């Protein structure tokens, strides 16, 4: 048994790199649905169907625990999957929970009344589908009051990353940050609400300027997964080498993954 990591494409590799470093004795199988990326422009039913298909493929690899390292899938499909689709002996986790916990400084299971938090003005950068779902705002509102969230749908960024076009991706990030700052000139914190975006975190940080704390999910997810596996050790797999699967062209995906992570990653057909 291994732990599965699912993403619509390359973005989840930022999560993979963090969890591999945090949990070096845990084997991981990565599934990138590059043939259907980006998910952020698809409707909820399409996202649900594609995500279920990918998760089932990871189950076939022996991954009874799967992390949706994709904000779009977490926002548009996870709740429905957990309520009506995931069997009792399997687990599917998302990436929103650790982020909300960090921002509100309270555990997910804390169901007390919403309370004041230190950060009042939050910039959210995400895919159009994640922004449209309002999942982040909804979960935040359950736990915090008085927080102003300004969301910027970042069309084109995932496509540019998937195509290996760093120059275009960086230009799009600067454009999206400028658009958000016209509506919220002085955010206190910025949420990179897509796992592709940490690949461009320095560009986001530079465009936002000093004094803005940038929340990137990879390390938060890694710590959360380590805690989960400590409590549920039955989902830890035996030691094996990592495996990378893609629905896209394996050679092209491998080249782009290596380009962005600055390390050799070799995918095989899913």
**Residue 100 CB neighbours (<10 A):** 19
Catalytic residue of the set 52, 63, 70, 154: 70
154 is catalytic: no
**C-alpha distance from residue 188 to each of 63, 128, 191 (Å):** 38, 22, 10
- The DSSP bridge pattern shows strands 189-192 and 148-153 to be unpaired
Cα–Cα distance measured from residue 132 to residue 117, given in angstroms and rounded to the nearest whole number: 24
63 is catalytic: no
Catalytic residue of the set 52, 63, 154, 194: 194
Instruction: Tell me the catalytic residues.
Output: 70, 194
């Amino acid at each position: 048994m291994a732990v599965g990591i699912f993403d619509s494409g390359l973005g989840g590799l930022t999560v993979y790199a963090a969890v591999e470093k945090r949990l070096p004795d845990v084997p991981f199988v990565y599934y990138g649905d590059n043939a259907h990326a980006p998910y952020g422009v698809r409707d909820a039913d399409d996202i649900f169907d594609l995500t279920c298909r990918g998760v089932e493929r990871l189950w076939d690899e022996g991954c009874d625990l799967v992390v949706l390292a994709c904000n779009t899938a977490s926002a548009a499909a996870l709740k429905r999957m957990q309520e009506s689709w995931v069997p009792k002996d399997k687990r599917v986790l998302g990436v929103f929970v650790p982020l909300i916990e960090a921002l509100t400084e309270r555990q997910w299971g804390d169901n007390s009344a919403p309370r004041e938090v230190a950060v009042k003005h939050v910039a959210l950068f995400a895919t159009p589908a994640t922004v449209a779902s309002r999942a982040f705002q909804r979960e935040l509102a359950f736990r915090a009051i008085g927080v102003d969230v300004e969301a910027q749908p970042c069309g084109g960024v995932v496509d540019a990353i998937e195509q290996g076009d760093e120059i275009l991706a960086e230009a799009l990030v600067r454009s999206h940050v400028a658009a958000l700052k016209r509506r919220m000139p002085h955010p206190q914190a910025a949420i990179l609400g897509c796992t592709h975006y940490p690949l461009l975190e320095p560009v986001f940080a530079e465009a936002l300027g000093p004094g803005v704390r940038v929340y990137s999910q990879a390390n938060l997810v890694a710590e959360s997964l380590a805690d989960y596996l400590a409590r549920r050790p039955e989902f830890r797999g035996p030691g094996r080498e990592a495996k990378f699967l893609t629905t896209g062209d394996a050679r092209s995906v491998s080249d782009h993954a290596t380009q962005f992570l600055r390390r050799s990653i070799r995918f095989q057909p899913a």
